[in-house]
């Protein structure tokens, strides 16, 4: 009995070791093709698609849906759609722009999405985006109201013929577009900074592509200085005394503080800036 147990244990350990080794070799050898021109195999595609669908479903059980049947709301949604969605997703009779045609996974035709997906799921995807796809999280650039406007328009979208859509497009061609991708929302709605929300915002305002930020995965570049120890740093960017107010000022408009800086204005909302500052001040 004891011997059998040992044989089983050693066999299992050896198999696990071999599997880990094979996995490591697969990753390290570079045989996996990351190019956007190579579609996943049918099996992998199915697995990823199912993972996505189940994940969205699990997270949308208690979303409160506001009334969407309102012409004004639909029109507002159309303006957003025209400004931010059609470029990648296209519309009836309108192809996505060239850059979007090269995306893998390909952006969904929203007519199909509207016909197949529940309303709460559509709202959730607009708000949160989808990791490892081209779909961004809009909650940092649109208010809740604006995102529901888009959902309201998507509810109408499948009823429009290409001719209808083109007519709508023409009729509103001169409309003032909604402010482009600007932070209109507060991610948490709280006055005081929320550390966890701040850490998320570090991804959403692409801080991670230029700064090393302890505790944030993927933040490993030295374009700007490392933010390790920023809580005890005396100056922000070498120009402002490091006070919470100055930190908010800097995060929301770096070129406004120092016109020479390479750090751009990323359109950070006041609340998001508070959250980010709260996180940064944990980095002693």
Partner 1 sequence: MTRTQQVRHSMKPLTAARERGTAAAVNARFARITWVCGTSMLALLIGCEKVAEPLRSRAQTELLSQADALRGQEVINRYGCVACHTIPGVRGPASNVGPPLANMASRAYVAGILPNTPEDMVRWLRDPPAVDPRTAMPNMGLTEKEAKDVAAYLYTLD
Binding site for partner 1 (CB under 8 A): 3, 6-7, 10-11, 13-14, 17-18, 21, 24-25, 28-29, 210, 212, 221-226, 228-229, 232-235, 237-239, 257-258, 260-263
Burial of residue 128 (CB within 10 Å: 0-12, 13-18, 19+) is middle
Q: How far is the CB of 3 from partner 1 (least distance, A)?
A: 7
Contact 101, 184 (CB under 8 A): no
Q: How far is the CB of 226 from partner 1 (least distance, A)?
A: 7
Token pair 């915002």 is at which residue? 201
Contact 127, 83 (CB under 8 A): no
Cα separation of the two ends of the chain: 55
Toward partner 1, which CB reaches closer, 166 or 237? 237
Toward partner 1, which CB reaches closer, 16 or 167? 16
Toward partner 1, which CB reaches closer, 7 or 94? 7
Contact 194, 282 (CB under 8 A): no
Q: How far is the CB of 63 from partner 1 (least distance, A)?
A: 41
Token pair 């005081």 is at which residue? 192
Q: How far is the CB of 220 from partner 1 (least distance, A)?
A: 10
Toward partner 1, which CB reaches closer, 19 or 167? 19
Toward partner 1, which CB reaches closer, 65 or 239? 239
Toward partner 1, which CB reaches closer, 48 or 210? 210
Structure tokens that stand for 187 in this block? 């991610």
Q: How many CB atoms lie within 10 A of CB 181?
A: 14
Q: How far is the CB of 24 from partner 1 (least distance, A)?
A: 7
> DSSP code of 95?
P
Q: How far is the CB of 211 from partner 1 (least distance, A)?
A: 11
As a whole number of angstroms, the distance between CA 30 and CA 35 comes to 12
As a whole number of angstroms, the distance between CA 196 and CA 27 comes to 31
Toward partner 1, which CB reaches closer, 116 or 265? 265
Q: How far is the CB of 239 from partner 1 (least distance, A)?
A: 4
Q: How many CB atoms lie within 10 A of CB 85?
A: 22
Closest to 90 (Cα-Cα) out of 70, 113, 74: 113
As a whole number of angstroms, the distance between CA 55 and CA 49 comes to 10
Residues in the chain: 284
């Amino acid at each position: 009995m004891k011997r059998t147990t040992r044989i089983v244990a050693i066999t299992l350990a050896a198999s696990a070791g071999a599997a880990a080794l094979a996995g490591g070799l697969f990753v390290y050898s570079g045989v996996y093709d990351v190019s956007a021109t190579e579609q996943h195999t049918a099996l992998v595609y199915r697995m990823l698609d199912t993972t996505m669908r189940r994940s969205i479903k699990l997270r949308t059980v208690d979303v409160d849906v506001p009334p969407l049947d309102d012409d004004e709301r639909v029109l507002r949604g159309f303006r957003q759609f025209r400004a931010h969605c059609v470029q990648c997703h296209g519309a009836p009779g309108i192809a996505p722009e060239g850059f979007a045609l090269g995306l893998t996974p390909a952006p969904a035709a929203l007519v199909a999405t509207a016909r197949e997906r529940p309303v709460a799921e559509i709202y959730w995807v607009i708000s949160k985006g989808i990791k490892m796809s081209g779909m961004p999280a809009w909650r940092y650039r649109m208010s809740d109201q604006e995102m529901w406007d888009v959902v309201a328009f998507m509810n109408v979208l499948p009823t429009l013929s290409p001719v209808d859509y083109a007519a709508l497009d023409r009729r509103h061609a001169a409309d003032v577009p909604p402010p482009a991708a600007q932070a209109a929302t507060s991610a948490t709605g709280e006055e005081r900074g929320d550390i966890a929300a701040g850490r998320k915002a570090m991804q959403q305002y692409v801080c991670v592509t230029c700064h090393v930020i302890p505790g944030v995965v993927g933040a490993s570049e030295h374009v700007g200085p490392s933010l390790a120890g920023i809580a005890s740093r005396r100056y922000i960017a070498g120009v402002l005394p490091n006070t919470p107010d100055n930190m908010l000022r800097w995060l929301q408009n770096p070129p406004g503080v120092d016109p020479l800086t390479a750090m751009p204005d990323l359109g950070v909302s006041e609340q998001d800036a508070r959250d980010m500052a709260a996180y940064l001040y944990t980095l002693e």
